[in-house]
Amino acid sequence: MRGPHNLWRLIRTGATLERTGAMNVVLDAFDATPALRFVARALGLPFKFLGYKGDPAMPPATRALTALGPAYIKFGQVLSTRPDVVGDELAVQLRVLQDKLPPFPLEVARKAVEYELGLPIAEMYSEFSEPVAAASIAQVHHARLAETGEEVAVKVLRPGIERAFQKDIDAFYLAARMVEIFSPGSRRLRPMEVIDHFNGVVQGELDLRLESAAASEFAANTVNDAGFQLPDIKWNYSARRVMTLGWADGAPMGDNDAIDAAGHDRVALSERVLQLFLQHALRDGYFHADMHQGNLKVAPNGDIIAYDFGIMGHIDEYTRRVYAEILFGFIRRDYQRVAEVHFEAGYVPADKNVDEFARALRAVGEPIFGMDATRISMARLLTYLFEVTERFGMETRTELILLQRTMVVVEGVARSLNPHINIWEVASPIVTDYIKQSIGPKAMIRDLGKTAMVLARFGPRLPALVEAALVRQSNEVYIDRRPRKRWIAVSAALGSVFTLGLIALIEALT
């Protein structure tokens, strides 16, 4: 974060925001204080002539970010996942940022592939096309494996992209620090953590081995999911800056005419895409977090194909249960339980009133459930829910925001296929089944089993652990006039027998 280049980059950024007309849009989205507005204007207005012009046909914010280059485009894409930070209107604008940057030359890509994989390109690929897509971080080529003749997609990082991103990320950290200083109210939104999240996303995308691993893990989790497929990763043709995977052939998810022409059932597709996302998020805790139409296709056999695994979401089992209970509570219109879950999870400060929070949640849910079923919107619910939780002092939770944002995006995909979809009706069986599996009696037995297994691993150490605890209490404790060590050994042995018996019982029941 050090160096004069950071301040210069911020000045150039401010100048571009001023020149493209995006400054007010961005400041309003962040609800900037007068002090922050003054600093931003001071960094931009006097140097407006230094700003990039951008494409006047674009909305101001996307025009500015596109003009500023790949790091800013990627940052805009990530911010589109954070409507809690930038607001819904700007989030929608940023979501339409297209990965259609000018490609780098074919010859540069071929040399990069040869360098990374250590073989002449003709020995690996019998065909290697001009770029078919150019994004902020990498571009994609259509190719054919020389050994098998299989069609593949080859993703190649842009030359020098790592250094360029690191330079801009340093400037982003400086900007976030300035926002915290001059706009104390923004600290609840954790701007430094937003940049940390962005940095983590980018670092994952700058090493294509990590994206390949994410795709492989995702494929292992979803291998038995009917109507869903992922391109195979070709590990022998992948490295840090090159990724080769099977070619995804099918109708683009955003092209309804092509889907209809192929004879696919759009109603069934709309329900499947929503249910698949919920299964991945709740069952696995690992989901595709950029599941928009541009990253989805419909295969000739009707399967949904997902690709581009640069942004994946992960939530732990406890958070999944909390999220499922919140959704389940809204589905059942049990606002008291939804409120209690927020307090039990520590999402809302304990000094707030749970009954008042439940009434506020009812004010969120009832108007939505009063609508026609086909007009019930998850996006609207989450927007209102965020407003309520903000009022009750709930701090931003990045993992939940990413999950909620993806839910909104998936809902948009589903509605684009079938405008009359009933979101709750489609989601209810998935959420209900997860609740039964994770919160019911079987889940309690399974949790006890996990606890017992942990205790069993500590079995040989139990005597020493118990003895150490008792020694700290007193060095002269005797029980039934027998030395403490003998009693400890007997207790530990009984504990081990009980633990092993509990494990056997649980295994028999499950």
pLDDT value of position 247: 94
Closest CA to 314 of 424, 180, 221: 221
Active site residue 207: no
Phi, psi dihedral angles at 326 (to 5 degrees) = -65, -50
pLDDT value of position 404: 73
Which pair of structure tokens corresponds to residue 467?
Answer: 């003895």
pLDDT value of position 105: 95
CA distance 490 to 467: 12
pLDDT value of position 454: 66
Domain topology for 105-157+207-247: Phosphorylase Kinase; domain 1 (3.30.200)
CB atoms within 10 A of CB 33: 16
pLDDT value of position 186: 62
**Dihedral sign of CA atoms 13, 15, 18, 24 in order:** positive
Where residue 319 falls (left for φ over 0; alpha for ψ -120 to 50; beta otherwise) is alpha
Which residue carries 């092993």 as its tokens?
500
Low-confidence ranges of the chain (pLDDT < 50): 1, 477-510
CA distance 177 to 294: 34
Q: How far is CA 319 from the centre of its chain?
A: 14
**Dihedral sign of CA atoms 256, 257, 260, 262 in order:** negative
pLDDT value of position 450: 67
Which residue carries 């160096």 as its tokens?
3
Which pair of structure tokens corresponds to residue 348?
Answer: 């809302």
What is the largest distance, in Å, between two alpha-carbon atoms of the chain?
Answer: 91
Q: Within 118-207, where are the H helices?
A: 121-124, 161-182, 191-205
Q: Read off the pTM.
A: 0.71
Residues 361 and 327 sit within 8 Å (Cβ to Cβ):
no
CA distance 273 to 423: 11
Half-sphere exposure of 42 (CA within 13 A, CB side): 8
Residue 166 CB burial class (10 angstroms; 0-12, 13-18, ≥19): middle
pLDDT value of position 291: 87
pLDDT value of position 319: 83
Closest CA to 128 of 147, 109, 103: 109
Query: Which residue is catalytic, options 84, 168, 170, 290?
Result: 290
- For the chain, give every domain's residue range: 4-97+163-182, 105-157+207-247, 249-439, 443-509
